[in-house]
Amino acid sequence: MNTSKHAIIGLLLAAIALFAPTAQAQQAGTQFIGITGYRVGPYGANGAAFFSGFIDYLHLVNERDGGINGIRLSWEECETEYNNTKGVECYERLKTRAAAGPTAIHPMSTGITYALIDRAPADKIPLITLGYGRTDSVDGRVFPWLFPLLSNYWDAATGIVKFIAMREGGEAKLAKKKIVLLYHDSAYGKEPHPVLEAESKKLGFELRMIPVPHPGNEQQSQWLQIRQYRPDWVIVWGWGVMTATSLSTAQKMGFPRDRMVGNWWAGSEIDTEAAGDAAAGYYAASLNLAGRDFPVVREIQKHVLDKGKSQTPAKTVGSVLWNRGMAAAMMTVEAVRTGQGKFGKKPLTGEQVRWGIENLNVDAARLNQLGFGAMVPPIKVSCADHGGSGLVRFQQWDGKQWKAVSDWMSGDRALVRKMVEDSAAKYAAEKGIKPACLSS
Amino acid sequence: MQFFFEVLIGGLLSGVMYSLVALGFVLIYKASGVFNFAQGAMVFIAALAYVTLAERFGLPFWAAFGLALAAMVLIGILTERVVLRPLVNQPQISLFMATIGLAFFLEGLAQLVQLWAFEDLSPRPLRLGIQDAPIERLMSDFNVLVSSFDLFAAAVAAVLVAALALFFNKTRIGRALRAVADDHQAALSVGIPLKYIWAIVWSVAGFVALVAGLMWGARSGVQFALTLVALKALPVLILGGFESIAGAIVGGLIIGASEKLAEVYLGPYVGGGIEGWFAYVMALLFLLVRPEGLFGEKHIDRV
Amino acid sequence: MLYREAGQFKTTYAADQQLFPIRQDRVAVLALLAVAYVAVPLLAADYWFNAILIPFLVFALAAIGLNILTGYAGQLSLGSAAFMAVGAVAAYNLELRVPGLPLLVSFALAGVCAAFVGVLFGLPSLRIKGFYLAVATLAAQFFIPWLLVKVGWFSNYSASGVITAQPMAILGYVFDQPVERYLLVLTIVALLALAAKNMVRSAVGRSWMAVRDMDVAAQVIGIPIVRTKLTAFAVSSFYCGVAGALYAYAYVGTVQPEDLNLDLSFRILFMVIIGGIGSILGSFLGAAFITLLPILLEVGLHAAAGQFGLNLMPGTTSMVQLLVFGGLIIFFLIVEPYGLARLWQVTKEKLRLWPFPH
């Protein structure tokens, strides 16, 4: 008994002693990138693929190019477990790690993004939310520090509607059709509601929205409702295990998979492989193409993976989320490069990086140069448009891999833009923000 | 009407899946009076052990099943030795909290194993060779949708319950188990070794967890979310009573059916997603009327 | 030598009944408060306020709430986080819909709202106990966040269901710097903790303990069971509700009701078990332990791995954390069921006798 008590006290003392080396400084002279990642918990598999890609690309920049214009990259990953309070802790920790700050934060969680919306501007740290987060933050005049790069949820929703219209043979054919939105019952799942309702009014299709409670590994009753309703299409707004379960339950209910379209978080190999045969035929909107057939993937293989610099499992390489993580890293790196053009070749502060993102312009030629080719659409960010692309591309799971079945296309940009501006203006009024572009 | 029956049948069959998990709780509670919160974690770790052996090392079904069972027995024995024995004679609530600790421990362990075996935590598909698809004949002749996998699960549950009943009623160990459940002191005094009995019970619960894990894993992949199925089994227990195997089955059927009916018929009016709590609120209301559950034994407090 | 009460004579009832009857304890508490109010704000960096001190205080308050219910009144609850959610959402709506309502009043009223909900979900405790009751409180844990999300009114019809807390302003002064938020939280938590310490030794507190130790016997000696159990639920939920309001306003700044989930309820329970069941001090110790442990483990494991040149697979630390959490719970339940607070008591006893061994 007594020894155990001593053990407890010893443990506590050891714990306190461990606190000493926490404040290790990052290597001076590098561009430090703070990464709030997650690899465990219900969504850990998705996070692991994304952040592996992110870090593998950072490795590539260091190994092949010796950094950005000679400024090497350093980084630290902090595990958030997709939990908002842990996310805040990680953010606060990473903030202190380098004098210049953590470059730009990719929260990879809509919840953590919301928790950081007020903190980031106060700390002058840009947030990049690639295909998630607060949709109306596309309006950079109200949200100068938020960058929902590429496309946002409303682009995705209208894009999916357009894709369905294409399959049906034109928007006119959508009238009287029935579409179900099967969504993850969380902030993330609710984002597309307003725009889909608007689309339904405009195009005349019947819309029914059915929530799936977290985590979504039981969907019998949702699919019974779908079976009774007999929709023409089901839009799957899933995350984590929910997507795979949707696919297998659809099979169980005899609903054709090639009448189901997921968004880009419900369209990775992780989802379809877990569903097995049930997934064949399923469509998903995507921000980026899957596959290894890109020069940049070969470069990473050569400079990073073959040299044992990374622990990424071989099968993850070239997957949808891994490629997306790589693209996210590429945009961060290019933003720093853009910023260096104005502020000089040195580690940049959050403010300078923010300018870099706002003036980011990666056109098709530059994408080819970087080895990305057609993996992601060209992107040109401006103060008014913090997204920079708005394009989506549809892929279909053929039972083994994702195959692109459409070109880069946009949804109803005018509608989305109007709703973004309305929503941002409402937010600005609530918060007392005067919409304006930051000059530097 | 036909749709109503479809929902009802679907609900009853998914109730069977809850019962499979609830059975594990009942076994342990019956024999040791411990409410084992770690049952969900055991389901996860059992399914993961099987998948690791079958997919990573390519073992045939029976070999993988046997080795996974061995792992569960080992966990059962260690639990008895490390967690339960030192806590003997402690209030039940302490034991309950200890099993919450055990649940966390097993979840951490399982994910470490998964990370080691598969290098990531993505859901592992588990194939038992049975398609989760509608039965064609029922579909075409009666337009009633029944999944063949659900029927298979129901059959497995029936076999499992029959086997457990035989085990409890016809074997020496089974009789000893029932004696321990009735009265620890009396069982000890007639020479039944309590600690072995507990180890055996935890092993049997591990076996049940393995079967439940295979069924659930085959449906939605083996992954962390499997631990959450235990939360679905708790209202089943409240309804059925903690001590009754029959209660776990009947409770599961009732919860499964009413939950699905509520979601389909009531859900649309209140915004849906009521499945997450409906079973709990139902169990809570039920508790107010009959605190010992449908098949539970009535407890009399003595001062 | 230092910790000895010999020579301290009580000449009045007031002196005999004060909250900290031993002079050294009074000095220690005052010194602790002085450190918390003066030294910490001077020395600590923003990271400490935002990521460690504020959450520590908020969770300590919630742990006090649960400790009142579980440790003093003996009713196990797995729904603490849900009551925090009630408090957070109530504070938000009070601030939003009642113009000019002082912030502290809305925090208090948020606690009252949580107390009402707590009593409602405490009603089953009149018929059921033990883990039946624990499962019943799970109903609260699943139902309340669902309701808060589904009824748009609660989040002022925000599309995503996420609530953004208004700035904290008292008499026109806005508490937005980390150190200011810390001081505000510290004041509220310190006052409520003292109130709790006082309450548990009052008639109410003693009747809670009587019910905890044996409710039938308590009834026989004339303690009204219904009222006692329900006040325990009310007071406990009040504390959790205020903690929830602080969580929303001072700590995270936003609330997604689904964030205040079962996991958080468990963590609060762990704080109580590890800190010490039936101890206000223990609630603080447990909160400190559970808040710091994950950070220490992550930092420590990485440091250790760096030392030995190992390459940790990302995510390993979180799993080791689960292992350590689970292991510690079992360890404490077996070795020291009264938690860290008991260790402190043992130390105090030893100090009293020091330098003599017995």
Nearest to A183 by CA among A128, A261, A115, A109: A261
Q: Where are the beta strands (DSSP E) in A146-274?
A: 146-147, 178-184, 206-212, 233-237, 260-262
What is the tens place of the pLDDT at every residue in C320-329?
A: 888 988 998 8
Domains of chain A listed by start with CATH number: 25-151+291-389 (3.40.50.2300), 153-286 (3.40.50.2300)
Which chain B residues touch A274 with a CB distance below 8 Å? 122-125, 220-221, 223
Confidence (pLDDT) at C218: 92
Mean pLDDT to the nearest integer, B175-192: 82
Q: Output the average pLDDT for chain B.
A: 85
A20 contacts: CB under 8 Å, gap ≥ 6: none
Query: What 3-state class would DSSP assign to B80?
Result: helix
Tell me the CA end-to-end span of chain B in Å, nearest whole number: 54
**In this prediction, what percent of chain A has a pLDDT beyond 90?**
57
pLDDT in tens, B81-113: 899 888 877 877 788 889 989 999 999 999 888
Contact check, Cβ <8 Å, A225/B264: yes
CA-based nearest residue to A345, from A358, A330, A356, A360: A356
Structure-token pair, residue B252: 């599961």
pTM, 2 dp: 0.90
∠ Cα C293 C308 C300 (to 5°): 10
Give φ, ψ of C283 to 5 degrees. -60, -40
Q: How many domains does chain C have?
A: 1
Contacts of A344 (CB under 8 A, 6+ apart): none
pLDDT at A21 over 50: no
Distance from CA of B249 to the nearest CA of C (A): 19
> Please, which residues have CB within 8 angstroms of residue A125's CB and are 6 or more apart in sequence?
A95, A101, A102, A104, A105, A145, A350
| Cα distance from N-terminal residue to C-terminal residue, chain C | 14
pLDDT beyond 80 at B184: no
Phi, psi of A376 (to 5 degrees): -125, 155
pLDDT at residue A19, as a whole number: 46
Residue C24 counted as domain residue: no
Could you tell me the CA-to-CA distances from C211 to A195, B96, C75, C195 in Å, in that order?
55, 20, 9, 21
HSE value, Cβ hemisphere, 13 Å, CA-based, for B235: 28
Which of A183-192, A394-403, B77-86, C1-10 is predicted with the least confidence, judged by mean pLDDT? Answer: C1-10
Residues paired with A380 in a beta bridge: A361
Q: Closest approach of chain C CAs to the CA of A114, in angstroms?
A: 7
> A311 and C336: CB-CB below 8 Å?
no
* Residue C128 located in a structural domain: yes
Alpha carbons A275 and A279: distance in angstroms, whole number:
6
Which chain A residues have a beta carbon less than 8 Å from that of B125?
273-276
Chain C contact partners (≥3 CB pairs within 8 A):
A, B
> Averaging pLDDT over each range in A133-137, B66-70, B215-219, which range is the top one?
B66-70
Dist CA A263 CA A153 (whole Å): 8
The Cα–Cα gap between C269 and C287 comes to 10
Measuring CA to CA, how many Å separate B245 from each of A105, B4, B30, B206, B295? 52, 28, 9, 16, 9
Residue C19 lies in a domain: no
pLDDT value, residue A260: 96
Is the Cβ–Cβ distance between A318 and A292 less than 8 Å? yes
Integer CA distances (angstroms), B128 to A335, B55, B215, C217, in order: 49, 12, 9, 56
Please indicate whether, in this complex, the C-beta atoms of C162 and A48 are within 8 angstroms of each other. Answer: no
Domains of chain B: 2-289 (1.10.3470)
Residue B293's pLDDT is what? 75
For chain A, state the CA radius of gyration: 22
Predicted confidence band of residue B299 (pLDDT cuts 50, 70, 90): low
* pLDDT higher than threshold 70 for residue A142: yes
The predicted complex's ipTM stands at 0.86
Least confident of A200-214, A368-382, B273-287: B273-287
Answer whether residue A12 shows pLDDT above 80.
no
Tell me the shortest Cα–Cα distance from A343 to chain B, in angstroms: 40
C303 located within any domain: no
The domain containing residue C138 runs over which residues?
44-260
Q: How far is CA A90 from the centre of its chain?
A: 18
pLDDT band at A14 (very low <50, low <70, confident <90, very high): low
Using one digit for the tens of pLDDT, what is the confidence trace for A327-342?
999 999 999 999 999 9
pLDDT, residue C322, reads 85
Is residue A100 within 8 A of residue A75, CB to CB? The reply is no
Buried b vs exposed e over C49-78: b needs ≥16 C-beta within 10 Å? bbbbbbbbbbbbbbbbbbbbbbbbbbbbbb
Closest CA in chain C for residue B87 = C334
Give me Rg for the CA atoms of chain C.
21
Q: Note the pLDDT tens digit of each residue in A193-233.
A: 999 999 999 999 999 999 998 888 888 889 989 988 999 99
Please name the residues in contact with A422: beta carbons below 8 A apart, sequence gap of 6 or more. none
Residues of C in contact with A51 (CB under 8 A): 314
> Is A128 touching B (CB cutoff 8 A)?
no
Residues from chain C that touch A110, judged by Cβ atoms under 8 A, are 160
Q: Answer yes or no: do A37 and C303 touch at CB < 8 A.
A: no
| Residues B232, A218: C-beta atoms closer than 8 Å | yes
**Cβ–Cβ contact A278 with B under 8 A:** yes
Alpha-carbon gap, residue C44 to C118, rounded angstroms: 36
B10 → closest Cβ in A185, A224, A311: A224
Report, as ranges of residue numbers, the positions in chain C whose pLDDT lies below 50: none
pLDDT at A99 over 90: no
Residue of B280, B294, B301 for testing the chain C interface, max C β-carbons within 10 Å: B280
Residues from chain A that touch B216, judged by Cβ atoms under 8 A, are 217
Query: What's the rounded mean pLDDT across residues A113-132?
Result: 90
**Chain A residue whose CA is closest to B232:** A218
From chain B, the residues in CB contact with C135 under 8 A are: 234-235, 237-238, 280, 283
| Res B52: pLDDT | 92
CA distance A37 to chain B (A): 14
C-alpha B206 chain-centroid distance: 10
Q: Which of A353-367, B140-154, B241-255, C99-113 has the lowest mean pLDDT?
A: B140-154
Average pLDDT of chain A, as a whole number: 88
Question: How far C238 CA lies from chain B's nearest CA (Å)?
Answer: 22
Determine contact, residues C63/C275, Cβ cutoff 8 Å: yes
Best to test chain A binding among B21, B220, B258, B263 (most A CBs inside 10 Å): B220
Q: Which residues of B touch C316 (CB under 8 A)?
A: 112, 115
